Amino acid sequence: MDNWSRTLDGRIKMNYSKTYKNIDIAGHQLEYYWTRSRNINDTELIFLHDGLGSAELWRDFPEKKSDMCGLPSLVYSRYGYGNSEKLSRPRKIDYMHFEALEVLPTLRKELNIKKPILIGHSDGASIALIHAGANQWPVKAMVIEAPHVFVENRSIAGIERVREDYIQKNLRAKLLKYHRDPDSCFYGWNDIWLDPKFRSWNIENYLRQIGCPTLVIQGDIDEFGTTAQVDAIRRQLGGVVKTKIFSSCGHSPHKDHPQKTLNIICKFLNKYLDVYKL
């Protein structure tokens, strides 16, 4: 089938099809898909979405990334997100640790993913850092967008504003398109971040144990964090770390500047292509 089509203004675009499957991980059904078929010697990319994201909310970014680097990408929705199993209880302060140290290792084992490249956004970036910093499961490289390694006042203020948007504006209607249960998805994330006990959450102790090359991308007008997060990672990460601050960019560089983000990632991975035999 021809996957190319034209938009109304004559531009050519790629139409990507997604074949979702379900898998039982840590007692919960998760949805996932691969962007392309896998070969035995492939290095896989794993996409880890943000705190209100899902597999579908990455849109076509994983497919474009796979096309540019010629590697398969695993895209999945965590428990409580997308069409994965509905969240049935409040999240705990260590919910990202559970995802990084229990769920992701089990998912990798079940799908036979030996040494992936992790691409994480926001909560997903923090999960990637914890997973790699545990130093128990090989990680070839990481690309992290808008990571959190500690809680900032800016983060809390942004999350409070989002709560108002959900209650009073149209955010719930938007999330309803992408999540089986938008209320449990939203409040599961929002409530724990606004819990006073969460202010002490900090994952900087994982950074020195990370030995894989890491690219950090941050927007200069990120409404949920500042470049203090990038500085902490640059200062403490044990391996090679490259950073890029995008101007006129908010919390989601891959949405605000998709092509620029794709190019930066490719340039970063190509730099280590021979060394790491991607």
User: Residue 207 in 3-state DSSP?
Assistant: helix
Is residue 182 a contact partner of residue 160, using CB atoms and an 8 Å limit?
no
Is residue 194 a contact partner of residue 221, using CB atoms and an 8 Å limit?
no
Is residue 47 a contact partner of residue 71, using CB atoms and an 8 Å limit?
no
User: Residue 112 in 3-state DSSP?
Assistant: coil
Residue 56, amino acid = E
pLDDT tens by residue, 182-237: 999 999 999 999 999 999 999 999 999 999 999 999 999 999 999 999 999 999 99
- Give the chain's mean pLDDT: 92
CA distance 79 to 193: 17
**Ordered per-residue pLDDT tens for the chain, 278 residues:** 334 433 333 333 466 789 999 999 999 999 999 999 998 889 999 999 999 999 999 999 999 999 998 899 999 999 999 999 999 999 999 999 999 999 999 999 999 999 999 999 999 999 999 999 999 999 999 999 999 999 999 999 999 999 999 999 999 999 999 999 999 999 999 999 999 999 999 999 999 999 999 999 999 999 999 999 999 999 999 989 999 999 999 999 999 999 999 999 999 998 876 544 45
Is residue 228 a contact partner of residue 26, using CB atoms and an 8 Å limit?
no
pLDDT of residue 161: 97
For the chain, domain boundaries: 4-276
CA distance 80 to 183: 10
Tell me which architecture the domain covering 4-276 has in CATH. Answer: 3-Layer(aba) Sandwich (3.40)
- Give the contacts of 44 (CB within 8 A, at least 6 positions apart): 38, 71, 72, 73, 74, 113, 116, 117
